Amino acid sequence: MTMTPEEKQIILESIRDIPDFPKPGIVFKDITTLLSNPEALNTLMTHLENRYKHYNLDYVAGIDARGFIFGSILADRLGIGFVPVRKKGKLPYTTVAEKYSLEYGFDEVEIHIDAFGKEGMCNDKPAKVLLIDDLMATGGTAKAAANLVNKVGAECVEACFIMELMFLKGREQFEMPVYSVLQID
């Protein structure tokens, strides 16, 4: 399913640009204005629901923290479970971790070892999982999160982003399909 140019415009116009945040030269894409705009949020979530309702997904996994918002809404609309992918040290039970590179150093994300059921199985087959986040820049965090989903025995079938910064070429890190609602050049 594709969005109309008018629907994309509603979403795009609801996202605020914050220049020089968190440091000079960066233009931060602030989604809080999208979240507070009922028309834009409903337009986005209806589009995602229509896109994914025939994927026969078992779970939506959202990346800490803004992926939690979109992922939990979408999981509810699809009638399936939601799993948070958290920054290291934030989950209370046994976890599996994956490191990823930052500009200067490394970071890690984690999920519970049984996040998608025992050995990632759902109805005697690997659980089908959609990964979601608000923004893909270089793709490092999302790639690590997708690896975690697969590491515990589930299957990450697609990575979904509300916005993709095309000039950073994060999509090239993925072997699975990647979908972005808005592409920013």
Domains of the chain with CATH codes: 56-184 (3.40.50.2020)
User: Which positions ≥6 away from 148 have C-beta within 8 Å?
Assistant: 85, 96, 97, 98, 109, 110, 111
Q: Render pLDDT for 102-148 as a digit per residue (tens, 0 to 9).
A: 767 789 999 999 999 988 888 889 999 999 999 999 999 999 999 99
Q: SS3 letters for 64-107?
A: CCHHHHHHHHHHHHHCCEEEEEEECCCCCCCEEEEEEEECCEEE
Residue 101 structure tokens: 């590179």
Q: How confident is the model at residue 44 (pLDDT cuts 50, 70, 90)?
A: very high
Residue 34 structure tokens: 């999208």
What residues act catalytically? 66, 103
Q: Render pLDDT for 58-112 as a digit per residue (tens, 0 to 9).
A: 999 999 999 999 999 999 999 999 999 999 999 999 999 999 987 677 899 999 9
| Residue 2 DSSP SS3 | coil
Residue 95 structure tokens: 């976890």
Q: What is the pTM of this model?
A: 0.95
